[in-house]
A and B are shown apart, each in its own frame.
Chain A
Amino acid sequence: MKISIERGALLKAVSQAQSVVERRNTIPILANVLIEAEGSDVHFRATDLDIEVVDRAPAQVERAGATTVSAVTLHEIVRKLPDGALVTLTDDGASGRLSVEAGRSHFNLATLPKEDFPVMASSEYSSNFSAPAPVLRRLFDKSKFAISTEETRYYLNGVYMHVSESDGGKVLRCVATDGHRLARIDADLPNGAADMPGVIVPRKTVGELRKLLDDDDTQIAVSVSETKVRFATPDITLTSKVIDGTFPDYTRVIPQGNTRRLEVDAAEFAKAVDRVATVSSERSRAVKLTLEEDKLTLSVNAPDSGAAEEELAVAYGDERLEIGFNAKYLLEIASQVDRENAVFLFNSSGDPTLMREGNDTSAVYVVMPMRV
C-alpha cells in the first residue's frame, strides 16, 4: 500500500477513529485503525466491538492495499505535523512497519495484520431514513445530559430513540433519564421512519455521533434494526450496537396535572441558582425555591459554610410554595432553554416538576425535587 494524503483530511479521519478506540485495551488489534486504500479513496476503520466508525478520505492511491497501526500514535503524529503538509503512508507488506513521511519527518510504525481486524458483521436494517443534521443535533444535545451512569440500570445508559405520538401526529422522539431528571425531545417524523423500532443508543455512541452533526447542511442517513443503529454522512459511517434492554415506560413519569405555573427568564434564573449554590458545601447542592405572587426567592442554607438568598421577578399567580432541588439539575435543564422563557409547572414539594420552553411541548424536562 502506498498513499499520499493531505494532512488536514488525514487528521479529520484519524481523529474520529482514535476517539472510538478504547484507551485501555486488552486486545492489541482494537487499539489499531484499519487503513484500506483503493481507487481514489482511503478508508479508516476503528472499533471497540460495540461501535465501528469508518471514515473516507480522498487520497492519491499509488498502490492499493491495507494495514493496521495504532490509532492513537498515528493521530498524535498527524496532529503534530505542520498544516498543509502532504503525508505519504507506505506499507511494503513484508517488514511489518508502516512508514509515515511528511516533509523531512519520517516515522516507522509497527503494524498488525489486517486479517486480524474485527469488522462488525453487517446486518439487515428494518428502517432507513434521512434526517437533517440540525434535527438530530437538537434531539441528542437536549437529551444527553439526563443519561444515567448507573451500571446497575444499564438500560438507562443511553438515549431512547423511537417513534411516538404527540398532539395526534407521529414524531421522532428521544428520551433520557437517570431517575432524578428526564428529558423528552420530539422532532417531526422523517419520511420512511414510521416503522423504526425503538432503540436505546448508548452514551458513547451519542458522543461519537455528535461529531457527525456539526455541519447544518448535511443530511444524515439513519438505519435502524432491533440490535444496531447506523448514522452516515457521505464521508463517515458510524455503526453501533444498541443497548439490549427495555427502556422503562416513561410516559407515566411525566406529570400531567401540574397546575402551578412559574415563568422566568431562563438565563437570569440559571445565573441566580449558580450564585446562591456557591455557599453550599455538600456534593448535592440543594437550593430552595420559595414561590410567592410574582416573586421567586432562591435560598441556600448550609449550617457549616453559610447562607445565600436571591430574589427574582417572575410570573407566578398560585399559592405560596416551597420546594427544593439539586442546583446542578436546575442549571442543566435551564441551560436547555434558548429562545423563550422557561416555564415550570409544579404540583407539591414532593412531586416531580415539569419544565418546558414557553408553550413548546416538543421539549419537556422533568426533575425530581429534594428535601431541604
Chain B
Amino acid sequence: MPALCRSCLHDFAEGARCPDCGSPRVVSHPELFSLSIAHMDCDAFYASVEKREDPSLASKPLIIGGGRRGVVSTACYIARIRGVRSAMPMFQALKLCPDAVVLPPRMKPYAEVSKQIRAMMDELTPDVEPLSLDEAFMDLSGTARLHGRPPAVMLARLVRRMKDELGLTGSIGLSHNKFLAKIASDLDKPMGFSVIGEAETASFLHDKPVRMIWGVGQAMQAQLEKAGIHRFSDLLRWEKADLHARFGSMGDRLWHLARGEDHRRVSANAPVKSISNETTFHEDTSDPDLLDGHIWRLAENVSDRAKARGLAGRVVTLKLKRANHTQLTRRQSLRDATQLADSIYRTARALFDAIGQQGPYRLIGVGISELIPEDQADRSADLLDPQAARRSGAERASDAIRARFGPEAIVKGRALR
C-alpha cells in the first residue's frame, strides 16, 4: 500500500515507520497518490495565532470569544481537553475551564496570517476555494506533473511549511470530492492527514450520522430524525423523489451525498451570495431602543462590507433568536437594490416592527442577499420619502470622512444606543 512520511515527505511501499528518517508520522492508503481534492483546516486557528504572538499563553488554556453572553469562537487544544467546544456559550466554557484565558477575537492579525496561508496554497493550485480565514478546499487535479510529486505529497509539504514558517498546524482531508474531503480533514485533528478513497466511500459513510453533512444543523437534523433518518444507511433506503418531496432541493443533495457523490467544483471565485452580520446579547432583551441601536450597527456593518465589494442587495433579511432558541426570520424584497446603511436599516426596522412583541431576544441579525453590482442599485428615490436623497447624500459624505479619518471619525447617535 502506498505510504508517505509526513516528516520527510519520503514515499515508500509499505510500513508503519519511515524507512528513511524513522518517523512514525506516516500516512498510507491504497489511493493515496491518485486522489486530488483536498480540504485544509487550521487547528484552533485564532487561538494558535494568539499563542504565537504571546508565547506566555502557550501552556495555558485559551478561549477566543466575545463577552459574558457570547459564545466560544475558538478554543485551544488544552481547553478542548477540558471539554470546551466552539459555539459553546461562554459561561458554560468557563465552568468547565475556570482558569482559561479569554481573549476577544482580533480579526486583523488573523486575516493577515490567513493571507500568508492562502499564498502558500496558491503555489499548489489555482483552484483554491476559501471557506473562511482558516479553511479552504483545493483541487490539485493535474498538478502532479507540474510539481513532480503527487497531490498528497504537496499537501503534506504545505502543512509542514505552515508549521515551519508560520508556527501554525493544520489538518488535511484528501478525497475525491469536496463533501468527503471536508469530512476527512475533521477525522484526525489536530495535525491530521486523513484519506477517504473511492473504494471505501460507501462503507465509510454507512454508519455515520447525517449531522456530519455540512449544512445539516440542529433544525435539519430534527427534521431528518422525524423522518427516521439518523445515519447515512437510513438515507439509502429513500427514493430520490421521496426525499425531494419531503426536503426540497436539500433532499436531492442528500440523495447524492448518501452515495458519497458531490459534483460541486472547487471554485476559486465562488460568488458572494449574501452579506450578513449578527450579534448575541449579554442579556436577553426586548427593549426596542436597544434593539434599534443593534439594527443600525448591523445595517451599517453590512453596508460597509457591501460598499467595499461594490455590491448591493435586492433583499433585506432580519433574523431574531428568542430566549428559547426558536428563530424568526423576515425578508423584504426591494424594488431598487441597495447598499446604503440607511435603506438597509429602515427596511430591517420595518420588518422588526411588523413582528410585534415576541421577545425577549438573545440574538439579532441583519443581512442582504440577491446581490448585484452597485451601479445598478440605489438608482431611484422614494416619492413618499423625499428626505431619503438627503440622507443618502449624508451617508456618502460620512463614508468619505470615515475613509479619511478612520471609522470612529463620525458616527450616528443611533449607533451609541
Residues of A within 8 A of B (CB): 150-153, 177-182, 248, 250, 253, 282-284, 286, 324, 326, 350, 352, 366, 368-372
In the complex, chain B residues whose CB is within 8 Å of the CB of A178: 335
- Chain B nearest CB from A323 CB (Å) reads 11
Interface residues in B322-354 (C-beta closer than 8 Å to A): 332, 335-336, 347, 350-351, 353-354
Give the residues in chain A near B376, CB-CB below 8 Å: 282, 284
Q: A152-B350, A153-B350, A350-B389 are in contact. Are A253 and B336 (CB under 8 A)?
A: no
Nearest B-chain residue to A369, judged by Cβ = B380
Measured in the bound complex, the distance between the Cα atoms of B385 and A248 in whole Å is: 10
B384 and A248 contacting across the interface, CB-CB below 8 Å: yes
Q: In the bound complex, do residue A253 and residue B389 qualify as a contact, i.e. CB atoms below 8 Å apart? A: no
Q: List 7 A-B contacts (CB under 8 A).
A: A152-B353, A178-B335, A182-B383, A284-B376, A352-B383, A370-B380, A371-B380
B372 to chain A, nearest CB (A): 8
Q: Is there a chain A Cβ closer than 8 Å to B379's Cβ?
A: yes
Decide: A368 and B351 in contact? CB cutoff 8 A.
no
CB < 8 Å: which of B347, B379, B386 contacts A284? B379
For B383, list chain A residues within 8 Å (CB). Answer: 177, 179-182, 253, 352, 366, 368
- Residue B401 lies at the interface, judged by CB distance under 8 Å to chain A: no
Instruction: For B389, list chain A residues within 8 Å (CB).
Output: 350
Q: Are B332 and A370 in contact (CB under 8 A)?
A: no
Which chain A residues border B347 with CB–CB below 8 Å?
Answer: 152
In the complex, what residues of A have CB within 8 A of residue B382's CB? 179-180, 368
- A112 CB to closest chain B CB (Å) equals 29
Asked, given contacts A179-B384, A368-B382, whether A152 binds B336 with beta carbons under 8 Å apart, the answer is: no
The 9 A-B pairs at the shortest CB distance, nearest first, are namely: A152-B350, A370-B380, A370-B379, A371-B379, A179-B382, A253-B383, A179-B384, A368-B380, A248-B384
Interface centre among A152, A180, A248, A250 (most CB of B within 10 A): A152
Does chain A have a CB within 8 A of B245?
Answer: no
Q: Considering the chains assembled together, what is the distance between the CA atoms of A237 and B376 in angstroms?
A: 47
Specify which of B314, B332, B379, B384 is in contact with A151 (CB 8 Å cutoff): B332
Verify if B381 is at the interface (C-beta below 8 Å from A): yes
Interface residues on B, range: 20 to 34
B333 to chain A, nearest CB (A): 8
Q: Tell me the complex Cα distance, A324–B381, Å.
A: 12
**Which residues of B are found within 8 Å of A372, using beta-carbon distances?**
379
Q: Are A326 and B380 in contact (CB under 8 A)?
A: yes
Q: Which residues of chain B from 345 to 390 have any CB-CB distance to chain A below 8 Å in the complex?
A: 347, 350-351, 353-354, 372, 376, 378-386, 389
Residues of B within 8 A of A324 (CB): 379
Query: Given A151-B354, A152-B350, A152-B354, is A177 in contact with B380 using a C-beta cutoff of 8 Å?
Result: no
Q: How far is the CA of A23 from the CA of B336 in the complex (A)?
A: 30
User: 11 more A-B contacts (CB under 8 A) besides A177-B383, A350-B381?
Assistant: A152-B353, A179-B385, A248-B384, A253-B383, A253-B386, A282-B372, A282-B376, A350-B389, A368-B380, A368-B383, A370-B336
Closest Cβ neighbor of A178 among chain B residues: B335
Name the CB-closest residue of A to B347: A152
Chain B positions within 8 Å of A151 at CB level: 332, 354
Q: Is B332 touching A150 in the complex (CB atoms < 8 A)?
A: yes
Point out the residues of chain B lying under 8 angstroms from A326, CB to CB.
380
Given that A282-B376, A284-B376 are known contacts, is A152 also in contact with B381, CB under 8 Å in the complex?
A: no
- Are A180 and B380 in contact, CB atoms less than 8 angstroms apart? yes
Shortest CB distance A242–B (Å): 19
Q: Give the residue name and chain of the A residue nearest to B373 (CB).
A: A282
Q: Which residue in chain A gives the minimum CB-CB distance to B316?
A: A152
Chain B, residue nearest A179 (CB): B382
Q: Are B384 and A177 in contact (CB under 8 A)?
A: yes
Q: Bound state CA distance, A326 and B379, in angstroms?
A: 10
Q: A152, B351: Cβ atoms under 8 Å?
A: yes
> How far is B335's CA from A181's CA once the two chains are assembled, in angstroms?
12
A253 near B384 with CB under 8 A, answer: yes
Q: Which residue of B lies closest to A303 (CB)?
A: B375
The complex places the Cα of A366 from the Cα of B376 at a distance, in Å, of 22
Q: How far is the CA of A324 from the CA of B378 in the complex (A)?
A: 13
B351 surroundings in chain A (CB, below 8 A):
152
Residues of the B chain whose Cβ atoms lie less than 8 Å from the Cβ of A284: 335-336, 376, 379
| Chain A residues with CB below 8 A from B336, complex form | 180, 284, 370
Chain A residues, Cβ within 8 Å of B350: 152-153
Name the residue of chain B whose CB is nearest to the CB of A181: B383
Q: Point out the residues of chain B lying under 8 angstroms from A371, CB to CB.
A: 378-380
Residues of B within 8 A of A180 (CB): 335-336, 380, 382-383
Considering the chains assembled together, what is the distance between the CA atoms of A350 and B393 in angstroms?
13
A152 contacts across to B, CB distance below 8 A: 332, 347, 350-351, 353-354
Give the shortest distance, in Å, between A213 (CB) and chain B (any CB).
28
Chain A residue with Cβ nearest B352? A152
**How far in angstroms is the closest Cβ of chain A from B336?**
7
B354: A residues at CB distance < 8 A: 151-152
- Inter-chain CA distance A25–B152, complex, in Å, is 58
Chain B residue, CB-CB nearest to A282: B376
Q: What's the Cα separation between A180 and B314 when bound, in Å? A: 16
Residues on B with C-beta less than 8 A from A153 are: 350
Expressed in whole angstroms, the Cα–Cα distance for A181 and B336 within the complex equals 13
B332 to A368, Cβ gap below 8 A? no
Residues 281-332 of B at the A interface (beta carbon under 8 Å): 314, 332
Give the CA-CA distance A7 to B351 in the complex, in Å: 48
Q: How far, in whole Å, are A368 and B385 apart by their CA atoms in the complex?
A: 12
Write out the residue numbers on chain A whose beta carbons fall within 8 Å of the beta carbon of B385: 179
Rounded to whole Å, the gap between the CB of A122 and the closest CB of chain B is 30
Mark B45-59 against chain A: 1 for CB-CB distance below 8 A, else 0: 000000000000000
Tell me, in angstroms, the Cα distance from A24 to B402 when the chains sit together: 50
| A-side contacts of B379, CB under 8 Å | 284, 286, 324, 370-372
How close is A366's CB to chain B, nearest CB, in angstroms?
Answer: 7
Write the nearest CB–CB distance from A337 to chain B, whole angstroms: 20
User: Smallest CB–CB gap between B330 and chain A, Å?
Assistant: 9
Pick the most buried of B314, B379, B382, B384: most chain A CB atoms within 10 A of its CB. Answer: B384
A350 to B392 alpha-carbon distance, docked (Å): 14
Give the distance in Å from the alpha carbon of A318 to the alpha carbon of B299 in the complex.
Answer: 43
User: Whole-angstrom distance from the CB of B11 to the nearest CB of chain A?
Assistant: 49
